[in-house]
Amino acid sequence: MSIHDEKLNWCLAKKTRMKKIKPNDKLSEEHINKAKHNLKAADYNIKGGFSDWGVSQSYYAMYHSLLSILFKMGYESKNHECTINAIEYLIEQRKLNLDIKDVAFIRTTEQMTSKDAKSLREEFQYGTKTTVNKKLMNDLLGNAKKIVEKVEIALNEL
């Protein structure tokens, strides 16, 4: 049993974290649309001088794109870590045509900083900093756009 199997079982053991559902194309589409909406909002806020909110919106764009896959595949998740792990599990099981590196980016952005996208989102959403390093922000938003685009392609293949 892989680490992703174990984590998925842990997530599914408590329905407040994650549960199996009937696949839902409507919610899948709504979540990919929300992901695209968040990308636009991130871009708008960064240009307007609110890069701290751009971090959160970039993260949530990626997160909603992952939720779109889960709804299409018959899962509902209310836990960020469970969502990311479930996608890694689906990739590992070859049920989803995505690169594990793209999903790992959401959790681990070591090429930019010692913090992952989720940690950055928490730092800027709950902390008091209002400005983000411009290169970090551009890399985060650029990668978020690529991931949402790749997820949209993967959804069309399901």
Q: What range defines the domain where residue 135 resides?
A: 3-157
In the chain, count of helices (H) and strands (E)? 7, 2
Q: CATH number, domain at 8?
A: 1.20.120.330
| Overall number of domains in the chain | 1
Which amino acid does the sequence have at 126? Y
Give the tens place of pLDDT for each residue, 8-35: 999 999 989 999 999 999 999 999 999 9
Q: Residue type for 146, please?
A: K
* Average of per-residue pLDDT across 114-127: 64
Single pTM value for the model? 0.87
User: Which pLDDT belongs to residue 29?
Assistant: 98
In single-letter form, the type of residue at position 4 comes to H
pLDDT at res. 110:
37
Q: Is residue 61 predicted with pLDDT exceeding 90?
A: yes
Side chain identity at residue 60, one-letter code: Y
Q: How far is CA 13 from the centre of its chain?
A: 22
Answer positive or negative: Cα dihedral of 103, 107, 113, 114: negative
